[in-house]
Amino acid sequence: MRKLTGHIFLIGFMGVGKSSVADELSRKIEKTEIDTDKFIEERLKMTIPEIFEKKGEEYFRKCESQILLYISQLSPRVVSCGGGFVMNPLNVKKMKRIGTIVLLKATPESIYERVKDSTDRPLLNGNMNVEYIEKLMNERMPVYEKAADLIIDTDGMTPNEVAQKIDKYYSSGLGVER
């Protein structure tokens, strides 16, 4: 059993609602929120699609890893991580040292409904359909699940309800199952 202590890293597939849950949770537990995508965009003064196009995905992934160095120097935060953040095992190792990882899950269909009108996710541009989302999700899920200390199925839940569930573990000091 692990307790939800230190930074709380919210991970999961694009469009699962990490940012909305982070907003609610940071209010509830009175911890500042960091959104890794927004952080990188602000630092580079470029949008995520521009970074992918002009600098390449590899560069973006390096920026993601560098954020951890910065976060490790801060008091506990609620960190909403881009969907590929934990695909780097070194990131996971560092995240485990400084906090706990909460995986948010949803079906490919509900993810599709949330992302279908957006063009700000380079990996989905040109691949905006349930089949592709399901394929990429299946590839990533074993890594997501292995990294996670707590897993929440968010289908049918509001961001506030998801945040409440995380808060229950966080505030009570209850151990999480994994």
Residues 6+ apart with CB under 8 A from 173: 3
Residue pointed to by tokens 């590839």: 139
33 binds ligand S3P (CB under 6 A): no
| N-to-C CA span, the chain | 6
From the list 4, 8, 10, 14, which residue makes contact with ligand S3P (rule: CB under 6 A)? 14
Q: In the bound complex, what is the minimum distance in angstroms from residue 18's beta carbon to ligand S3P? A: 6
Cβ(88)–Cβ(64) below 8 Å: yes
Identity of the residue, 109 or 177, whose beta carbon is nearer to ligand S3P in the bound complex: 109
Residue with tokens 């992934």: 61
Residue 21 neighbours by CB distance under 10 Å? 27
**In this structure, what DSSP letter does residue 107 have?**
-
Contact flags string 43-82 toward ligand S3P, x per CB under 6 A: -----x---------------------------------x
Residue 14 or 103 with smaller CB distance to ligand S3P: 14
Applying the rule CB under 6 A, the residues between 76 and 135 that interact with ligand S3P are 82-84, 121-123
User: Given candidates 23, 24, 33, 37, which one binds ligand S3P under the rule CB under 6 A?
Assistant: 37
Provide the 3-class DSSP secondary structure of residue 56. Answer: coil
Amino acid at 137: M
Q: Which lies closer to ligand S3P via its Cβ, residue 80 or residue 100?
A: 80
- Kind and range of the H or E element at 43? helix 36-44
Contact residues: ligand S3P, CB under 6 A: 14-15, 18, 37, 48, 82-84, 121-123
